[in-house]
Amino acid sequence: MVFPFKSIEDFTIDLNQDHELLREAIREFSETKISQFVEKGEKERDLPKELKEEAKNIGLYGLDVPTEYGGQGGDYLSLLVASEEISRIWTSFSTFFLIQWMVNRALLKYGNSDLKKKLKETATGEKIGAFANTEPDAGSDVAGMKSTAKRINDHYVINARKIFITNGDFADYYLITARTSPSEPNARWKGISMFLVEKENVKVLSRIETTGLKASHTAEISLEDVKVPAENLVGEEGQGFKYAVESFDYARTIVSAQALGIGQSAFEKLSNYSLQRKSFDKKIAEFQLVQQKISESLADLETARLLTYWAGTLYKKEKMNEYIMIASLAKFHSTESAEKIILRAMTAHGGYGVSVSTGLERLLRDIQILKTYEGTNDIQRISAARQFYYRFMGVKI
């Protein structure tokens, strides 16, 4: 009955009253504070400084960082709750925190004592982080990167070019991956290391115009013969590929939670409009095809929510074999479910569905990016299947 899991207890979702209190607080913050800046922020393609400062007051920057490092001491599920609620109002803003949390996690898990001092700065929002892994010719193929880092005495000299870097044009700290030794033919992932580089050493080449997440900053950056102290090596030399992949695993279900927020927003627009709009002297909610949109959207939304928080629970319990598979399922299912709900809402709105005023077109644009970043949906399908065969069937595909 529970195949491929060992016990029915593996299907539990570990949400409690603390998570509900957090959800209520984030929803109030989102509806009273964030909502005021969405229209202006999207037009100006920026996240207001005032809003970023407000977020410090409720501890968003270091939500899952231990209190000893300036964080709130929350768990992984807290990130999912916060991401869903923020994304319900403005996904560009939740993406800003997604990257901050990735940087926090890498510094917390792999950083030495010097780097953990910088964690105290990112966990409080004093400093902003960026995670720079993707290159012009190396996206899903992380091991195909060409950036290099050469050890010379007590420092490394880094030459790198990175693209599609969120927060990339204004971050204070960048986590940069680069090759410290040549790749091996049968183990291309070997020889990659991770470094923390400060902003004065990073050249911003351009800000990239994207279809969605208009207020989120996406940039192309480069490092040219940049000297970085050896103590800025994150973890061990040659383990950067592992650290990057684990960071993406961490981020993946947060993206699923973002998609939940988008899907929830679209569903609310659909259901509310169906009760407000009349046609042929009836509320359109009385028409069976509209009812079909409601029931199918509700099924998509709640199955996505269950998958997402189930994945989050597995992560919290450190059941990583199960988590990696379910996180991949949650990522492609949640993002694609949200897209379906948006499209149903747009058709139910008729002509108004294609107007900017409903906010649906922004949701549709935003969800396209969520389907791509932190591991494309195509890659997630492959990842889930391979993880299933290898970890639960004993067959390496």
How wide is the angle at C-alpha 367 spanned by C-alphas 364 and 373, nearest 5°? 150
- Which residue is it, tokens 């990130």? 79
Q: How far is CA 328 from CA 60, 106, 217, 313, 325, in A?
A: 25, 20, 26, 14, 5
Q: Which of 85, 220, 339, 374 is catalytic?
A: 374
Q: Which residues contact 362 (CB under 8 A, 6 or more apart)?
A: 42, 212, 214, 356
The two structure tokens encoding residue 25 = 């607080």
Question: Could you give the CA distance from residue 143 to residue 16 in angstroms, rounded to a whole number?
Answer: 40
Question: Could you give the CA distance from residue 266 to residue 377 in angstroms, rounded to a whole number?
Answer: 21
Active site includes 374? Answer: yes
Angle between helices 288-316 and 76-89 (to 10 degrees): 150
281: alpha, beta or left? (left if phi > 0; alpha if psi -120 to 50): left
Question: Could you give the CA distance from residue 198 to residue 217 in angstroms, rounded to a whole number?
Answer: 18
Question: Could you give the CA distance from residue 375 to residue 383 in angstroms, rounded to a whole number?
Answer: 10
Question: Could you give the CA distance from residue 268 to residue 292 in angstroms, rounded to a whole number?
Answer: 15
Question: Could you give the CA distance from residue 248 to residue 232 in angstroms, rounded to a whole number?
Answer: 21
Q: Are strands 203-207 and 278-279 parallel, antiparallel or unpaired?
A: unpaired
Question: Could you give the CA distance from residue 26 to residue 34 in angstroms, rounded to a whole number?
Answer: 10
Q: Which residues are catalytic?
A: 374
